[in-house]
Structure 1
Amino acid sequence: MDATSTQADPRRWWALGALVAAMLVLGFDLTILNVALPTLAADLGASTGQQQWIVDAYVVVFAALMLPAGLLGDRFGRRRMLVAGLGVFLVGSAMGALVHSPGPVIAARTVMGVGAALVMPLALSVLPSLFPAQERTKAVAAMTAAMSAGIPLGPLVGGWLLDQYWWGSIFLINVPLVGVAVVVCLLLLPETRDPSAPRVDLISAALSVAGLGALVLGIIEAPHRDWTDPLVLGLLAGSVVLVALLVRRERRAARPLLDLALLADRGFRWNTVAATLGTFILAGLLFVLPSYLQAVLGHDAFGTGVRLLPLMAGLLVAAKLSTVLAARLGPRPVVATGLVVLCFAALLGARTGIGDGYGFIAVWLSLAGLGFGLAMVPAMDSALAGISADRAGSGSGLLLTLRQVGAAIGIALLGSLLAGVYADRLDTDGLPAAAAATADDSVVAGHLVAERLDLPALADAADRAFLDGMNLTLVVCGCAALVAAALVALFLPDSRTAAAGPAAGAERTVAPDQHDGREWTA
């Protein structure tokens, strides 16, 4: 299938629909459990640390395995591995619906992360073979919008399921969605591969998983053990050593798993920084906010999902607007402006008080969605525009790996900051030691202890302590967004004229042997 047939065949848009369906599923599962965390804390006794791992187990494995997943697609066929990833994701979803304690839930989320790691980079890596340069921006925007829409829709759907059924239903909802995506991918997606792709380096893959896992575990354990605890220090130091070994090994590889040469390109590097920090902020925000809406303001799970809709509205508006603005102005001013808007939204949210109503939250959530969407779509499109088709799997895998690393660290770091501030500010004087330790675990646990002991003052204190922690995390988010905006404004090259060159070059590198000798398979 050459470039001409790609442009002429209308089924490329149906193929895009299959990819959009897959990305929507991944977006759902980045956040659908967030609205269930208070329920898991109450029903399964999950502590704040376990809640962080329930969310982060998926994200850590997702991030760490995307690089080898991209190469697997390059070597064995992108459609084949994409469908395999959806199948693994389905198995993990079924596991999650059948277990009854925090540990197995974490294990199920880990399996789902393996599947997601295959799906994400391969869904993006087929775009250069499906669309010419002038259409690729629309395709990237559609896929980004799908995942972005799935992120805030996840709490909405999850909240409705929790109100109607048991908590395991938030895993079962994936089964029909994944099934549809598998069928459509098999029917409409062309098979592509890079016959020269190297074998997956299992040692490098193990180093990436272990390094990122040690970093996240150290950050999550720090509030409970203290940052100077030998275990925490050992985990953090170990993560540095493992990542350094990974980088050293990859620098010596003829065809590296971690293609560091891509980071030498200014456009790719700074667009990736913008996307990573933006994801760091959004992931941390979506970890913190559901507990505030449910435990502090008293909304049910579905009501919490509904109250996150302004974020989705901002994302959807920005996904369309950013494409138009980037075409006229170039990505640099659009990405920088989006990050400034995200900064303003976070700092505005940090002024939330106990007596503030939902209207104030809706305003800054809308702005946060608008800022994230304005920054993310042009940043990802501009970064991917310079990746040639023969490096599409590993290149998009690197970009998306760094984004998911940002998400994992955002959940771990901001969740740990919240947990530490909450425990420090909560006054448990006069409580039995066991009750005080339980109340310190999370605001949900604080409310349960207050209810059992008939201590409304403890519930009020838990609300105030949680709000102090939430506002501090939002200040950190705002500072991160401002730093990212400054870096983009200073260092991101203006690629209005340059973007067409690499993109077109990428299209020209699509050789017939990369498509397995076949045209469309439907």
Structure 2
Amino acid sequence: MDSRRSPMSTPDPRRWWALAAVVLAVLVISFDMTILNVALPTMATQLHASTSQQQWIIDGYTVVFAAVMLPAGLLGDRFGRRLMLTVGLVLFGAASLLGMLADSPGTVIAARAAMGVGGALIMPLSMAVIPGLFPPAEQGRAVGALASALAAGMPLGPLIGGLLLDHFWWGSIFLVNLPLVAIGITACLLLIPESRDPAAPRVDPVATVLAAGGLAALTWGIIEAPGRGWDDVPVVTALGGAVAAITVLVLRSLRQQRPMLDLSLLRDRSYRWSALAATLVSLVLFGGFFVLPLYLQAVLGSDAFGTGLRLMPMMGGLMVAARLAERLVVRFGPRPVITAGLVVIGAALLLGSRTQTGDGYGFTAVWLPLLGLGMGLSIVPAMGAALATLPPDRAGVGSGLLQTLRQVGGALGVAIFGSLLAGAYTARLDTSGLPAAAARVAHDSVAAADAVARQLHDAALTASAHAAYIHAMDRVLLVAGVVGLLSAVLVGARMPGRAATAAVPAPEGPGTPPLAATAGDRGESPV
């Protein structure tokens, strides 16, 4: 059936139960983006994973997630959103089982990439089923619940991961997904009605390859450049190939009437700037968040659960923001709320960049709640504002584009800030007097340096590694904070106020009537 609901249709009485199940599935996807951060020190030691491999354990998920998101939204629109959501949950569960049984960094990276495929089906389609479940008056609340689940998963991931690692082996961080996925599959089959858009375009395999190849090459080049050098031939080739692939993808999309990468969605200023704000938040948060677990574990000596617990003040700030954001958006509109959230994120990260070698956890506990507060004030209203502009028959492709942009931001955040961290740490670490093999291992990561220091009973190496890591972390947080503040200026200056909000113009094509823009958007330039 077509996803467009008649204004007189009766809402499904099971819709809130269905939403609860979808929220649970989204929460699993969200905390899986960060649950491995707290396990990285353990995996670095037990699986002998280098800093580059640790970055790929995180980015293997986010890169594939972002690349597959575009065709995922179209698959749901074309073949059925409930069907493809269920397929995504099955794939995610199977990949989690593979990760649980992995015995090498390469296998973990492969499992995470497979989880990214499943997650890419789950995330946009969880948003796309809302118009088929809820009448227009309730859709904002439903979108807010999903956006809150996405935001809450980031701080919950390390806590859940830490709890599991303290009582079980590291593979348990994959095992925890299986019962939750089973609940999600059952709910999809029993509670969610099927919906589709008969006029949805076919999946474009060329565009899919261009998106996946371009993003993967870009991420690989950024991750590998600090170690290989920015003038290294494979790095330059990868970065050049990424620019070429993404350029061809954009040009191809602009020539097609109903493309997989539907750039016509960006003609609506509210959608465009809300999506950009969500992308910038993801870039800053994923990059800044990458450095914290290793600091708490390797430098401050927390165990895995203690690390997750020490990240919970961020959850406290997020909970406060969740109570405030909806009322603030109703009163002032999304633009000032999102802008304020980005300012708070930037201020929190700049405060964190003042961390000194002798500081304990107390200083970190001061700025983490501010980070959570800014996250809740920015990401939830930004996603809600973007999705509110989408007509029901374009929910799949529109939410797919939004989530793709967010995941691209997150993947680039990990790649860029991870590379900055690795370069600054390596440059500051003093390995003079160490055997060449031991020095190479110590340069891999602060966890590896600690292991070498324990083996050699070298207290000076431990002190140098901790100081080098704090120096590198401060640099990452400083850059991330500046990017957060610049993002606030950009969004505050360019995002339209509530009067300029318009419906997304639909592309011309069979079965797709044009949607009229509101007066505030008539004649608006798409740039």
TM-score interval, smaller chain: over 0.9
Q: Which residue of 362, 371, 389 maps to 2:365?
A: 362
Matches within 5 A, 1:170-181: 170-181=173-184
Q: For residue 394 of structure 2, what is the aligned residue in structure 1?
A: 391
For residues 6 and 291 of structure 2, the distance between their equivalents in structure 1, rounded to whole angstroms, comes to 46
- Structure 1 residue 151 displacement after superposition: 1.6
Matches within 5 A, 1:42-61: 42-61=45-64
Q: Which residue of 419, 422, 433 maps to 1:419?
A: 422
Matched letter for residue 502 of structure 1: A
CA contact (8 A) 1:145 1:316 kept: no
Matches within 5 A, 1:144-183: 144-183=147-186
CA contact (8 A) 2:52 2:223 kept: yes
Q: For residue 140 of structure 2, what is the aligned residue in structure 1?
A: 137
The 1:83/1:8 distance shift into structure 2, 3 A limit, reads closer
For residues 485 and 235 of structure 1, the distance between their equivalents in structure 2, rounded to whole angstroms, comes to 31
- Structure 1 residue 3 displacement after superposition: 4.5
Q: For residue 344 of structure 1, what is the aligned residue in structure 2?
A: 347
2:469 is the alignment partner of 1:442: no
Q: Which residue of 115, 128, 133 maps to 1:112?
A: 115
Matched letter for residue 86 of structure 1: L
For residues 278 and 484 of structure 2, the distance between their equivalents in structure 1, rounded to whole angstroms, comes to 11
Residue deviations 1:60-113, cap 9 Å, x none?
000011010000000000000000000000010000011100001100001100
Residue deviations 1:438-487, cap 9 Å, x none?
10000001101111111011101000100011011101111111111111
- Structure 1 residue 316 displacement after superposition: 2.2
Q: For residue 434 of structure 2, what is the aligned residue in structure 1?
A: 431
Q: For residue 194 of structure 1, what is the aligned residue in structure 2?
A: 197
Secondary structure of the residue aligned to 1:430 is: coil
- Structure 1 residue 136 displacement after superposition: 2.1
Residue deviations 1:156-206, cap 9 Å, x none?
111111111111111111000100111112111111100111110011001
Secondary structure of the residue aligned to 1:166 is: coil
Which has the larger displacement, 131-140 or 61-70?
131-140
For residues 466 and 115 of structure 2, the distance between their equivalents in structure 1, rounded to whole angstroms, comes to 33
Residue deviations 1:229-275, cap 9 Å, x none?
11111111110001011111111122101011112222111111110
2:42 is the alignment partner of 1:39: yes
Matched letter for residue 277 of structure 1: L
CA contact (8 A) 1:6 1:129 kept: no
Q: Which residue of 453, 473, 477 maps to 1:474?
A: 477
Matches within 5 A, 1:161-310: 161-310=164-313
Q: Which residue of 62, 76, 79 maps to 1:76?
A: 79
- Structure 1 residue 147 displacement after superposition: 2.0
Which has the larger displacement, 261-270 or 124-133?
124-133
For residues 76 and 134 of structure 1, the distance between their equivalents in structure 2, rounded to whole angstroms, comes to 27
For residues 6 and 359 of structure 2, the distance between their equivalents in structure 1, rounded to whole angstroms, comes to 56
For residues 51 and 126 of structure 1, the distance between their equivalents in structure 2, rounded to whole angstroms, comes to 35
Secondary structure of the residue aligned to 2:359 is: coil
Q: For residue 97 of structure 1, what is the aligned residue in structure 2?
A: 100
Q: 5+ unaligned residues in a row in structure 1: which ranges?
A: 512-522
- Structure 1 residue 6 displacement after superposition: 6.0
Residue deviations 1:102-146, cap 9 Å, x none?
001100001100000000000011222323333222212211111
For residues 8 and 421 of structure 1, the distance between their equivalents in structure 2, rounded to whole angstroms, comes to 56
- Structure 1 residue 13 displacement after superposition: 1.2
Q: For residue 519 of structure 1, what is the aligned residue in structure 2?
A: none
CA contact (8 A) 1:35 1:301 kept: yes
Secondary structure of the residue aligned to 1:233 is: helix
Corresponding residue pairs, total: 505
For residues 460 and 141 of structure 1, the distance between their equivalents in structure 2, rounded to whole angstroms, comes to 46
For residues 262 and 351 of structure 2, the distance between their equivalents in structure 1, rounded to whole angstroms, comes to 39
TM-score by length of 1: 0.94
Matched letter for residue 479 of structure 1: V
Q: For residue 124 of structure 1, what is the aligned residue in structure 2?
A: 127
- Structure 1 residue 353 displacement after superposition: 1.1
TM-score by length of 2: 0.93
Residue deviations 1:378-436, cap 9 Å, x none?
11111111111111111111111000000000001101100000000001111111111
Task: After the TM superposition, list the runs of 4 or more consecutive aligned residues in structure 1 that deviate by more than 6 angstroms.
Answer: none
Q: 5+ unaligned residues in a row in structure 2: which ranges?
A: 513-527
For residues 217 and 76 of structure 2, the distance between their equivalents in structure 1, rounded to whole angstroms, comes to 27
Which has the larger displacement, 360-369 or 126-135?
126-135
CA contact (8 A) 2:11 2:133 kept: no
For residues 192 and 107 of structure 2, the distance between their equivalents in structure 1, rounded to whole angstroms, comes to 34
Give the % identical residues. 58
For residues 74 and 279 of structure 1, the distance between their equivalents in structure 2, rounded to whole angstroms, comes to 26
Secondary structure of the residue aligned to 1:477 is: helix
- Structure 1 residue 43 displacement after superposition: 0.2
Matched letter for residue 446 of structure 1: A
Secondary structure of the residue aligned to 1:493 is: coil
Matched letter for residue 271 of structure 1: S
Q: For residue 315 of structure 2, what is the aligned residue in structure 1?
A: 312
CA contact (8 A) 2:12 2:134 kept: no
Matched letter for residue 438 of structure 2: A
